[in-house]
Structure 1
Amino acid sequence: MECETTRLDKVRLHDNPLPLCNVAGFAKTYLQDFKEHTDSSPIIRNRSTPHRWSPPAAGSVKINFDGAMFGESDRAGLGVVIRSCQGQVVAALSEQITKPPTVEILELLAARRAVSFSAELEHLRCVCEGDSLSVVNALKGSGLVLSSGGHLLADISSLSNSFQSISFAHVGRQGNAVAHALAQRARSSLSTQIWLECVPTDIMSIVMDNFPNS
């Protein structure tokens, strides 16, 4: 099932500049995150980071999000997939947007779209999962983010009030494969695409490979 959705209005707040004492640490984290999205070589991750998708607790849904830059144009893609505690697809989204200035801003846009999409579907308890460590840390309030992303974090914080409970977690790229494929799929469609209780046939094999205990 495909349809178009409208975006929620942005909540604009004044941005706080990054303190000079934090610039070096932020640059190191951001460079590592950028390499993870552009380098095809094997990536060594912290052992505490899950590599595969795992189901949320009973009564909750898990929302995976990702962004993809399209190098040949000024466009980018957002991908979101919502799955139940049994691993079944509840809903999926693929959306093309204007390319943002950085990978980090793209991932924040994907996170915001994931939260707004789940709020539109009236979910009450969710875990939001992405493969950008710096962005997930920022969403958890334990990391740094460029001042240009401050309004996006404010949007997500405001949208989070729609849920009884919401949390953010980091996962390896393998565990975020379905959201990544949906983000890449936006390359071929100008309109927002939404699927309920299914995904496109070309992505179903990725869902099955990513299924719990598969």
Structure 2
Amino acid sequence: MEQGVLLAQELQLSLVILESDALAVIQAINDNSTGSDLGHILQGIQLVRETFESCTFKYLSRDLNVVAHELAQLARRNESSCMWKGVSPPVVSMLVQKD
């Protein structure tokens, strides 16, 4: 979520909706719960959130976003994160077609 808000800010978006299948994370962000172990990250998200005209965080069941789930699993297997701007890896195209 932190990388998502930072990317949206970098792209100079003003109306942002970020979705995740991590219900606890979405609840923590929406409740402004900064007292946990991840409090410093949540505070950073809140600071960036204020720069948008509108910034909404929504829970989305994993079953409803197979592409995001598969990308997360790919990053987990590779122990890295990647970002594609303007292009997408072949696995994404395949998953979008299935979805």
- TM-score band by shorter chain is 0.7 to 0.9
1:40-80 CA-to-partner distances (Å, cap 9, x unmatched) read xxxxxxxxxxxxxxxxxxxxxxxxxxxxxxxxxxxxxxxxx
Aligned: 1:203 with 2:85? no
Aligned: 1:183 with 2:66? no
Contact 2:18–2:58 (8 Å) recurs in 1: yes
Aligned: 1:122 with 2:12? yes
Contact 2:34–2:42 (8 Å) recurs in 1: no
Structure with the largest fraction of helix: 2
Letter in 2 for 1:136: I
Identity %: 30
Q: 1:189 to 1:154 in 2, by over 3 A?
A: closer
Structure with the largest fraction of strand: 1
| TM-score (normalizing by structure 1) | 0.41
- Aligned residue for 2:88, secondary structure, equals coil
Contact 1:135–1:145 (8 Å) recurs in 2: no
Aligned-pair CA distance for 1:145: 7.0
Q: How many residues align?
A: 98
1:160-213 CA-to-partner distances (Å, cap 9, x unmatched) read 1221110111111022322222222223375x5322233211221212333xxx
Aligned: 1:158 with 2:47? yes
Contact 1:134–1:145 (8 Å) recurs in 2: no
Backbone CA RMSD of aligned residues: 2.2
Contact 2:16–2:54 (8 Å) recurs in 1: yes
| TM-score (normalizing by structure 2) | 0.81
Letter in 2 for 1:119: Q
Q: 1:195 to 1:149 in 2, by over 3 A?
A: same
Q: Distance in 2 between matches of 1:168 and 1:188?
A: 27
Mapping of 1:167-178 within 5 angstroms?
167-178=56-67
Larger Rg: 1
